[in-house]
Structure 1
C-alpha cells in the first residue's frame, strides 16, 4: 500500500540541503566561486531552455542592432554572472562579516547618501538585479539604518535562513503590502535609507507602462508616492562584480524624471536609471527575468489572438 507523502518533511529536507550548500560555499574564496560559475554558466545556457530563451528574447529587444552571435555571447556571459550570484549567496549571507566587507574593494558615490542624510532627507536606493545585490544589501545595512521590502521564498522553510542573512547587519525587512509601505515612509521621514527593486513587474493596478530600452515595460508607481511625501533623494545602487576578486559598490544619481509627480514620467525615470546602471556592464544584469511579460499580455488582448510571442 502506498504511503502518503510528507510534503512538509520534503520541503524541510530540500531547505536543509540548500542551506547546507550555502554554508559550504560561504567558505570558498571568490576566485574559486567564479571558476565554478564559469563551468556552470554554459551548462545553464545549453540545458535550461527557459533561461536561455528569455535571456535571448530580452537581448533581442534591447540590442536590436547587434548581431546574432554578439547577442548569443552576451547571453552566455549573463547566465555565467547569474550563476555566480547564486553561488555567492552563502558569501553574502553567511560568511564572516569581515570577509564580506573585505571583498568590497571600493565604494563610489557614498557622498550622495551622506549628503542627503546631512540635509535631513531620506535616501531611496533603486537596486536593480545587477551584479550581486545581496552584497549591496550587506554594505548598506552595515553603514546606514536600512529598510527594504521582503517577500518570503516559495520554499517556506528557507524563510528564516534568508531573513537572517539579509538582516544580520541590521537591515529591517518589511512585507510587500500597505503595512510595509508605511514602514518605508517612516524610515524615510527619519532620514534613513530604504531599498526598492525597480525592475520587477508589479501587480496589475500598481504600475504603468513606461519605456525600458525603447519598449514599454510595466513599472511600479510606488516611487513618486514616496518622494512626494518625504522629499527623499533617489540614487541607483549596484554591487559590480570584479570576477574572482570582489565587488565595487556604485551609487549613481537617478534620472531627474524620478522626481516627477506624473506616474508615467517617474516610471520612465526609474527605467532610465536602471539602464544607466546596466551600462556599467550589460553582462551583469539578470536578463532571464520576463521584464516585458505584461506588455505582451496587453498586446495579445488588443490583437485578439494568443500566438503573439516574445518569450
Structure 2
C-alpha cells in the first residue's frame, strides 16, 4: 500500500494531460480484465438507457472505466499538490447560492452525487468554505489514515464517523454554518430506504436528504462535479424550494429526478460500476 501511495505521489508531478493518457491506457486494460465490474456497468446502462444500441452502452462503460482510473491516479494531486494547482483546475460556478445562505445564518446541505469529478472539486471547494463530511472507516489501516488525513489537509473540514448518527452531523453544520456534503445516491440496502424510481426502475434510495434537512432546518443546494477535458467544473444549483415536505418518499423521488436529469447530460461520468439496483422490492428478480 505504501508503494502505491509513492506512485501516486510521483504521478502528481506529471501534467494532467499525461495523467489522462496513463488513465486511458489503464482504463482500457481494466475494461478488458475486470469482467464482473464491466458486467455490472452494462446491466446498469441497459436498465437506465434501454433505447441505446448495445455498442453505445459498451462505449459509455469503456469511457467510464477510463474516468474511474483517472480519478484514482489523481488522488496524488488532491492529496499532495499545491492548493493553488487545485484551484486552477476547478472552475466553480454559482457558489453564491451557498455563500448567500450562510451569510443569512442558514444551514446548508450540498446534495453531491457520485460523478467522477467529485474528489478534485471538493478539495478545491474546501479552500473557500468549511465543509462537514461523513467518513466510513477503511479496513486497511494505512489507507484509512491516508484518506482521513487527506480530507483534513486544509484544516477546514469537520469529519463525522458514519457510526455516530445524525446529532454530531447537525452540531458540526452549526459551526460556522458549514455545509454538509451529502452523497445519498447509492444502494445502501433496504434499511432507512424506500423504493423510488430511477430511470424508470425501482431503486432502493435512502431518505436521509429529506430527513436531515428537516431536522437541521437546512436548505438543500444540488452540486454537480463535471470533468471538462483536463479540468473540472463544479456547479451549484438554486436551493430547492418547498423542500423538505411532509412526504419523505416524494422528496426522495424529487432527488432522483434531479439526478437523472444531470446524468443524461454527462452519462459516462456517473458511477455506473456500483450495483445501484442490488436491493429489489419483494417479488422482483435480482438483476446482477
Q: TM-score interval w.r.t. the shorter chain? A: over 0.9
* SS at 1:238 equivalent: strand
Counterpart-to-counterpart distance in 2, 1:258 and 1:140: 24
Find the counterpart in structure 2 of residue 12 from structure 1.
none
- How far residue 219 of structure 1 moved from its aligned partner, in angstroms, is 0.9
Find the counterpart in structure 1 of residue 8 from structure 2.
22
Q: Aligned to 2:68, which of 72, 75, 82?
A: 82
Worse-superposed segment, 203-212 or 71-80: 203-212
Find the counterpart in structure 2 of residue 97 from structure 1.
83
| 2:203 paired with 1:217 | yes
Q: Aligned to 1:230, which of 216, 237, 250?
A: 216
Counterpart-to-counterpart distance in 2, 1:277 and 1:151: 26
Q: Tell me, which stretches of 5 or more residues in structure 1 are unaligned?
A: 1-14
Change over 3 Å in CA distance of 1:267–1:257 after alignment to 2: farther
Find the counterpart in structure 2 of residue 193 from structure 1.
179
Equivalent residues of 2:184, 2:208 under 8 A apart:
no
Equivalent residues of 1:136, 1:237 under 8 A apart:
no
Q: Please show how residues 1-311 of structure 1 align to structure 2 within 5 Å.
A: 15-104=1-90, 106-169=91-154, 170-177=156-163, 179-190=164-175, 191-243=177-229, 245-253=230-238, 258-295=243-280, 298-299=281-282, 302=283, 308-311=285-288
Worse-superposed segment, 46-55 or 133-142: 133-142
Worse-superposed segment, 185-194 or 54-63: 185-194
Equivalent residues of 1:228, 1:261 under 8 A apart:
no
Larger Rg: 1
CA RMSD of aligned residues (A): 1.8
Equivalent residues of 1:33, 1:88 under 8 A apart:
yes
Counterpart-to-counterpart distance in 1, 2:11 and 2:262: 28
Equivalent residues of 1:224, 1:261 under 8 A apart:
no
- How far residue 273 of structure 1 moved from its aligned partner, in angstroms, is 2.6
TM-score (norm 2): 0.93
- How far residue 218 of structure 1 moved from its aligned partner, in angstroms, is 0.9
- How far residue 20 of structure 1 moved from its aligned partner, in angstroms, is 1.3
* SS at 2:249 equivalent: helix
Name whichever structure is richer in helix by fraction.
Answer: 1
* SS at 2:251 equivalent: helix
Equivalent residues of 1:22, 1:94 under 8 A apart:
no
* SS at 2:236 equivalent: strand
Counterpart-to-counterpart distance in 1, 2:157 and 2:7: 24
Structure 1 stretches of at least 4 aligned residues deviating more than 4 Å after TM superposition: 254-258
Equivalent residues of 2:23, 2:73 under 8 A apart:
yes
